[in-house]
Amino acid sequence: MMSTTVFLIQILILCSVPGIFSEDIIVEIAQGKLSGSQETAIVSGTPFYSFKGIPYAKPPVGELRFKAPVEADSWEGVRDATVHGNVCPQFNPITAVYTPGSEDCLFLNVYSPNLNGSLPVIVWIHGGAFLFGSGNDDLYGPDFLISKDVVVVSFNYRLEALGFLCLDTEDVPGNAALKDQVLALKWVQQNIAKFGGNPKEVTVMGGTAGGASVAYHIISPLSKGLFKRAISSSGAPACDCLYPYEPKKRAFQLGKLLRPNQTEIKDTEELLTFLQSVPYDQLVNVQPRILTSESVSNVLLKLQYFTPVVEKDFGKNKNFITKDPYDSLKGQNFNDVDVMFSYSSGEATLLTELLETSYIDLYNTYREMFVPSKWIVSLEPEVNLELADLIVDFYFGNKSIITTEVIPEFIHYDSIVGLAYDIQAFFRQVSDRLGTYFFKFSYFSSRNQYGQAGLKYGLRYASHFDIEFYLFNPKSLNLTLEENTEEYTMVQNITTAVTNFAKYGEPSPSGSLGVDWPKFTKKSLAYVNFGTTLESSKGADEKDMKFWQGLYDHVKKIKGLSSGWRSVLSFFERFW
């Protein structure tokens, strides 16, 4: 590995934009030299060094498509690192926008306030339901975190079928995107010292699908030793939308969709050869449905088409996971790291318009949609309908027809069943062994871009994604932030909590945030609510949690369950 050499060639350039200046910054890493720039954080005015579009893997094209990533090649000369690399091909179902991007999209970004330091490092994993998103500063400007004296890293990983196709073969066992993340973390270990970061003080942090990714890294043997602490927001492997249903069968269904009116492919190698030859844009926003219910299901909070899977074990220590996450937790097979997790008060608020225009009608027509997807595929239809009646009675007072009048109740129901219950359940188990902290994000202001949808119904909820607008400066949205405002105070509280955790392993050491913040355990159920003020409490959404555990107990009594489903039930029995 090359010696740590930082060449600072500082050329002052007068600029027409106040507070912005340009500077040529050269950093040499194992792959070669990078030319970065210097930027200034909004509000705080903190100067920091920026290196964008750094390749951490070879382009996953041709025969590398769908496979585990390969380390990037070196380059000659000085590589420009002042602009972001390509984003991965994607379709955003919230905005209905297709972004072609490029398959050559495995790039990362590094932001540092001090190239000669040895600072804690926060590696951000973006969310987007494993369907859309990137690590770029259009949404994830590092301004707020960088002001807390940490190094920030963000990156892209493959999405949808390109990132999660599973053929149950040694070459394509699934989870290519999660292995992209592992390779990015390895890159950080090898290179972050050149940017003033301490490779022994790495915290991996993610939101939504990124939060679920963080939880997966906690249980993956491939991720062992790559980070010291983990922060997961609004995601966990057990969440309903991430339940992997027949992934290999889905891959063959994908081939069938892309070869209409042709002989159906039956051979795995033939299927792989075909799918590697298809233009990548045909692999984005495809819907290889297996279940009839998928034609009406909510793709954001119900079954998705391509998700993390349990890989077939070929015995070469290359698998991301080979056990169901439930089994890994029961067997205490997870990495020894400090953990902080959170979810928002109204995760499903971003779905308000969809509820108004279509989903409420669908839920009334297909009553079983109230039941978690992982139950629907395991139980008889009459059992699912019985469970649906119990759920409707609990949340809606046994109304035979659900209307827009109960949208507030519906948002609460969907927030719990879609995310909150499974998140608490997952992290309850790791709290037995790992130092764990929990907070619920309930704050509302104009920065809550997705929570605004609830105002029509008098709701001031924090929605899915909303916390990220307090962690990062989303440059593309031009959100203003003024000192001495309530929003500024919340930005300071959130970023102080996560950077304290990254530095010290606890979010409020010695009560520095002005609140007592004990560890979360099965016994204490302690958490801090981030509302207008910070308040320490116990038993978040306790009534809902007990209701869902009661349903699990009810289902356990049903005869004829598969052994795998009984394993799931016994897993949850340990929590409550």
DSSP string for residues in 505-568: SSSSGGGTTSS--PPP-TTT-EEEEESSSEEEEE-TTHHHHHHHHHHHHHHHTSTT--HHHHHH
Which residue from 37, 42, 121 is spatially nearest to 80, judged by alpha carbons? 37
> What's residue 95's pLDDT?
83
Residue 308 contacts residue 237 (beta carbons within 8 Å): yes
- Please check whether residues 517 and 467 belong to one and the same domain: yes
> What's residue 333's pLDDT?
78
Please check whether residue 288 lies inside any domain of the structure: yes
- Please check whether residues 442 and 393 belong to one and the same domain: no
Please check whether residue 11 lies inside any domain of the structure: no
Please check whether residue 485 lies inside any domain of the structure: yes
Token code pair at residue 263: 């002989």
- Please check whether residues 187 and 271 belong to one and the same domain: yes
> What's residue 21's pLDDT?
37
Residue in this structure with the two tokens 């490092």, named with its chain if needed: 121
3-state SS of 319-384 is: CCCCCCHHHHHHCCCCCCCEEEEEEECCHHHHHHHHHHHHHHHHHHHCHHHHCCHHHHCCCCHHHH
List, in order, residues 6 or more apart from 559 with CB less than 8 Å away. none
Residue 349: HSE in the Cβ half-sphere, 13 Å Cα cutoff: 26
> What's residue 317's pLDDT?
81
Q: What's the domain count of the chain? A: 2
- Please check whether residues 524 and 557 belong to one and the same domain: no
Residue 153 contacts residue 122 (beta carbons within 8 Å): yes
Question: How far is Cα 121 from Cα 196, in angstroms, rounded to an integer?
Answer: 9
**320-326 contacts: CB < 8 A, separation 24 or more?**
320/175, 320/178, 320/179, 320/182, 320/216, 320/220, 320/222, 321/175, 321/216, 321/219, 321/220, 321/221, 324/564, 324/567, 325/215, 325/216, 325/219, 325/237, 325/238, 325/426, 326/238, 326/567, 326/568, 326/571
- Please check whether residues 34 and 110 belong to one and the same domain: yes
Please, where are the H alpha helices in 25-159? 143-146
Q: 374 lies in which domain range?
A: 357-416+544-561
Please check whether residue 393 lies inside any domain of the structure: yes
Token code pair at residue 21: 């200046």
Question: How far is Cα 485 from Cα 490, in angstroms, rounded to an integer?
Answer: 9
Residue in this structure with the two tokens 């899915």, named with its chain if needed: 464
Token code pair at residue 385: 């309908």
- Please check whether residues 325 and 376 belong to one and the same domain: no
Please check whether residue 423 lies inside any domain of the structure: no
* Distance linking the first and last C-alpha atoms of the chain: 50
- How many CB atoms sit inside 10 A of residue 465's CB? 23
Residue 121 contacts residue 192 (beta carbons within 8 Å): yes
Which residue from 103, 17, 21 is spatially nearest to 60, judged by alpha carbons? 103
> What's residue 526's pLDDT?
96
Please check whether residue 363 lies inside any domain of the structure: yes
3-state SS of 172-222 is: CCCCHHHHHHHHHHHHHHHHHHHHCEEEEEEEEEEECHHHHHHHHHHHCHH
- CATH code where residue 248 lies: 3.40.50.1820
- Please check whether residues 370 and 270 belong to one and the same domain: no
Burial bucket for residue 290 (CB in 10 Å: 0-12, 13-18, 19+): middle
Residue in this structure with the two tokens 């990124």, named with its chain if needed: 210
Token code pair at residue 350: 């971003």
- Please check whether residues 504 and 392 belong to one and the same domain: no
- Encode burial over 61-92: b for 16+ CB neighbours within 10 A, e otherwise: eeebbbbbbeebeeeeeebebbebbbbbbbbe
Please check whether residue 483 lies inside any domain of the structure: yes
Please check whether residue 195 lies inside any domain of the structure: yes
Residue 326: HSE in the Cβ half-sphere, 13 Å Cα cutoff: 17
Residue 350 contacts residue 464 (beta carbons within 8 Å): yes
Percentages of the chain per state (helix, strand, coil), in multiples of 5: 40, 15, 45
> What's residue 289's pLDDT?
57
- Please check whether residues 387 and 306 belong to one and the same domain: no
Which residue from 343, 386, 352 is spatially nearest to 233, judged by alpha carbons? 343
Token code pair at residue 172: 């394509």
- Please check whether residues 364 and 507 belong to one and the same domain: no
- Please check whether residues 557 and 514 belong to one and the same domain: no
**Mean pLDDT, the chain cut into blocks of 10 residues (576 residues total):** 39 32 78 97 96 98 98 97 97 88 98 97 97 96 97 98 96 98 99 98 98 96 97 89 81 92 92 97 79 48 76 89 84 88 96 86 86 81 88 86 87 94 91 92 96 94 96 95 95 98 96 94 95 95 92 71 50 45
- Please check whether residues 220 and 233 belong to one and the same domain: yes
Question: How far is Cα 302 from Cα 305, in angstroms, rounded to an integer?
Answer: 10
Question: How far is Cα 473 from Cα 310, in angstroms, rounded to an integer?
Answer: 35
Helix, strand or coil, per DSSP, at residue 153: strand
Residue 202 contacts residue 192 (beta carbons within 8 Å): yes
